[in-house]
Structure 1
Amino acid sequence: MSITLRDPAGKSVQLSDTPFAQGGEAAVYDVPQFPNVVVKHYHKQVLENRANTLRAKIEAMASDPVLNRFKQHPALAWPRFSVVDERGQWRGYAMRKATGVRMNVLAHAIAYKKHFPGLDRPSLVSYLLNLLTTIQVLHVAKVMIGDYNPANFLCDPGSNKVTLIDCDSWQVTANDKSFRCPVAAADMLAPELLGNELGKIGRTLASEHFSLAILLFKVLMLGRHPYDACGGASPVENIRKGYFPYGLGGGGIPKGPWFNIWSHLPYKLKEQFVRTFKDGVSNPANRTTAAEWIELLTLYRHEMDKGWHSTEISPAMPKPKDYRGTQSISQPLVPEKQ
């Protein structure tokens, strides 16, 4: 049986019989009258505990004079307006319909082959640049994503575009009120956030930069976590210790294609991962920014187009030690130990 809700003007909107998608907090339904719109309908138990808090945040995001422009942003499933049931009880909100394949599939050593046939490194980098451009816009507006779950980024196999979903969990300041991000996987968090109740601690650009670097690494490395070390502790414990197994003084790179992939990445790209995941653990100022990643990945894609780097998703062999390219960001200032 389909659900009927009302928009702020009191107009009835009928939802599809079955959800378009669903998760632990809510189900997302198509709106047959409006093919480009979906409704996020929160589960009963969520509404019983958090309806007032959720409604306040959603309506602030939709009405804030600075943030409401994101309702029309093509890469964001930003809340547009609240919906209520026929008794006037708040049930969720309407947003742009987002389609695509979740980024955790793109960043998977096997699964990507089904959904992204013919994928190569330039295309992979293009997805990341598209995502970074949107994130940079959000950061300028002081919006912190907080939860860098790859499943919250939808990749279009036909265009290299990325759409960001679950915007309602982000940290925003709207209508002069701050709303924090209460969720995230521990292994995607900056070390200063670990062990804290996330709904009570503010995210910063520095914590964003750390989580963003983890996401970029996982995509470039086909799902491998940067702090996953062979014979070592868990990624979360390695984050606390700043134990990054790649680069000079590393050790413990997991068996498999990971060393080959790492060896083929440009030197200065690897340098920034080392900077963020080693020095940046104790000194947040050493974490690479979105703008810096955009510059480096743009140059990486340009140099792949020139044939200076392998375009294979998973190179069969490590990069030859005598390979340096010409005027390439692979050229280290000192001899590099692969």
Structure 2
Amino acid sequence: MNDAYGMLSAGTTLRTERGEEITVRGLLGSGGQGEVYEVTTAAGPQALKWYFPQLADAQRWRILETLVDRSWGDDRFLWPRTIVSDPALNSFGYVMGLRPARFHDLPALLRRDPAVAGATPRSLITTALNTVEAYRTLHAQGIAYRDISWGNVFFDPLTGDVLVCDNDNAVVEGEFAGIAGTMNFMAPELVRAEPGAQPSIQTDLHSLAVLLFFLLMNHHPFDGAEELRIHCMDEQAQRKLYGFDPVFIYDPARTRNRPVPGEQDTVIATWGALPRTLRDLFVRTFTEGLASPARRIVESEWRDALSAVRDAIVPCGTCGKQNLTDPGDTAPTCWYCSRTVDLPLRLELSCGTGRRRTRRDLRLVQHAQVHGHHLEEDPERHDFSDPIGEVTAHPTVAGRLGLTNRSTTAWRMRRPDGTELEVPPGRTAALRPGVLLELGDGAEAVVRER
């Protein structure tokens, strides 16, 4: 906890709207809207966001009431649980869960903070996927977040789990909240203050794409040569760069804002290592989506692309570094050692009913896992904690891999010669081209060549 003094002193006792007594332990941090404290409650340690008095108005109170009434239990959000007020202190706030120490802010990647040194391409893609799915769930409830940015999403660099904080910015679509967002994440129409333009789910999609670009590229999508020409990045310069004349640094048609070699080498290298699947989505949302907000990439499309790329991560056989590959594409060059990456066999998974079954590809590298979402047509959420199958090494034959059944039901295996056998839980099916596995409920997996 921070030893600095805040608006509330340690030991201060407050009462929630539910009649619960809480005690302030100490200041955790502060931001543009107020301060966050650790508090002791009957349910254990929690966090209290306390607003600066000038921001504690009736409108903010109404927004908090609406959010608390929803009683949303999604564990990816530190959702407001109850309101806390004290007329003598001329302000109010709300109680939420404490952010566990394993979660770090996304700017830590840009700072190269040692705390996030364990982040890998896999965990960053997982972070992006979890972030997309979290906001998809929020938007499905008809709620616009209004301030998607670096400062509101925290991640575990090892697992890619995410926590979305500062959820008092979120309001029901169409309601006015007086929050436009963070300038360099805001949709251009909001930066320009166009008549009728208001923060919405549609503007959230632009902010989400900027956040994903920052996460995967360590760079802003509009900060190229034009940004380097700006001598003073004041509000007027920002409005021009992000609102009145935004140009994506990799816009295929407008090339005047390309990253400058020697000055912006990181984004040049990371863009080159990004699979075409994701590059195409960024190009579409930052070109077509600038002129026509309705053409911005929606969460389900981001989800499907990120999931497919995660399933196609392949370690370099020379240096061992993880490489993001395109499903079904040719072998890439390793981003670290510049050697060609050998692509392993792939598992073609299919599920669903009717003529158009959902198909996914999983690269068969050691420790790759099959999960429940692989067997769903339209998964609500990717859960990587409970695999139903895992690629394992043969105990005596080097280089030979199998798929171990981690589920609770037996699979049916058919070899290319037509012979069949059962693969009970805990047993392993040898992975050779042409092998077919029946995984249950109509789901199948076929081993394919590279």
TM-score, with normalisation over the residues of structure 1? 0.80
Q: Is 1:130 matched with 2:133?
A: no
What SS does the corresponding residue of 1:157 show, helix, strand or coil?
coil
What SS does the corresponding residue of 2:40 show, helix, strand or coil?
coil
Change (3 A) 1:95 1:157: same
Q: Is 1:172 matched with 2:158?
A: no
Task: State the partner residue of 1:221.
Answer: 217
Task: State the partner residue of 2:108.
Answer: 105
Q: Is 1:311 matched with 2:353?
A: no
Task: State the partner residue of 2:380.
Answer: none
What SS does the corresponding residue of 1:123 show, helix, strand or coil?
helix
Distance of 2:310 and 2:239 partners within structure 1 = 31
Task: State the partner residue of 1:204.
Answer: 200
Task: State the partner residue of 1:336.
Answer: none
Change (3 A) 1:179 1:298: same
Unaligned 5+ segments in structure 2 are: 1-8, 230-236, 325-333, 347-359, 362-450
Task: State the partner residue of 1:26.
Answer: 34
Report if aligned partners of 1:304, 1:310 keep a CA contact under 8 Å in 2. Answer: no
Match of 1:243 among 234, 244, 247: 247
What SS does the corresponding residue of 2:312 show, helix, strand or coil?
helix
Change (3 A) 1:319 1:172: farther
Structure 1 segment 273-284 matched on structure 2, within 5 A:
273-284=282-293
Q: CA deviation at 1:182?
A: 0.8
Q: CA deviation at 1:135?
A: 0.6
Task: State the partner residue of 2:269.
Answer: 260
Q: CA deviation at 1:36?
A: 4.3
Distance of 2:190 and 2:105 partners within structure 1 = 25
Change (3 A) 1:325 1:248: farther
Task: State the partner residue of 1:162.
Answer: 162
2:150 maps to amino acid: P
Distance of 2:321 and 2:241 partners within structure 1 = 30
Provide, for residues 44-78 of structure 1, a one-character-per-residue CA deviation record: whole Å limited to 9, x for no partner: 3333xx2x221111012111xxxx141x2211111
Q: Report the more deviating stretch, 97-106 or 159-168.
A: 97-106
State the Cα RMSD in Å: 3.3
What SS does the corresponding residue of 1:79 show, helix, strand or coil?
coil
Distance of 1:88 and 1:187 partners within structure 2 = 34
Provide, for residues 101-138 of structure 1, a one-character-per-residue CA deviation record: whole Å limited to 9, x for no partner: 111213x1x424x0122321111101111111111100
Change (3 A) 1:258 1:61: same
Report if aligned partners of 1:4, 1:86 keep a CA contact under 8 Å in 2. Answer: no
1:311 maps to amino acid: Q
Task: State the partner residue of 1:45.
Answer: 54
Task: State the partner residue of 1:54.
Answer: 60
Task: State the partner residue of 2:96.
Answer: 95
Q: Greater strand share, 1 or 2?
A: 2
Structure 1 segment 284-299 matched on structure 2, within 5 A:
284-299=293-308
Q: Greater helix share, 1 or 2?
A: 1
Task: State the partner residue of 1:335.
Answer: none
Q: CA deviation at 1:293?
A: 0.6
Q: CA deviation at 1:312?
A: 6.1
Give the share of equivalent positions with the same residue, in percent: 23
Change (3 A) 1:306 1:294: farther
1:291 maps to amino acid: S
Larger RCO (CA within 8 A; separation ≥ 6): 1
Task: State the partner residue of 1:334.
Answer: none
1:203 maps to amino acid: P
1:274 maps to amino acid: V
Q: Report the more deviating stretch, 297-306 or 257-266.
A: 297-306
Change (3 A) 1:148 1:88: closer
What SS does the corresponding residue of 2:144 show, helix, strand or coil?
coil
Unaligned 5+ segments in structure 1 are: 330-338
Match of 2:188 among 191, 194, 197: 191
Distance of 1:11 and 1:245 partners within structure 2 = 52
Task: State the partner residue of 1:140.
Answer: 140
Report if aligned partners of 2:123, 2:159 keep a CA contact under 8 Å in 1. Answer: no
Q: CA deviation at 1:202?
A: 2.8
Q: CA deviation at 1:215?
A: 0.7
Report if aligned partners of 1:171, 1:203 keep a CA contact under 8 Å in 2. Answer: no
Provide, for residues 67-91 of structure 1, a one-character-per-residue CA deviation record: whole Å limited to 9, x for no partner: x141x22111111111122759651
Distance of 1:88 and 1:194 partners within structure 2 = 35
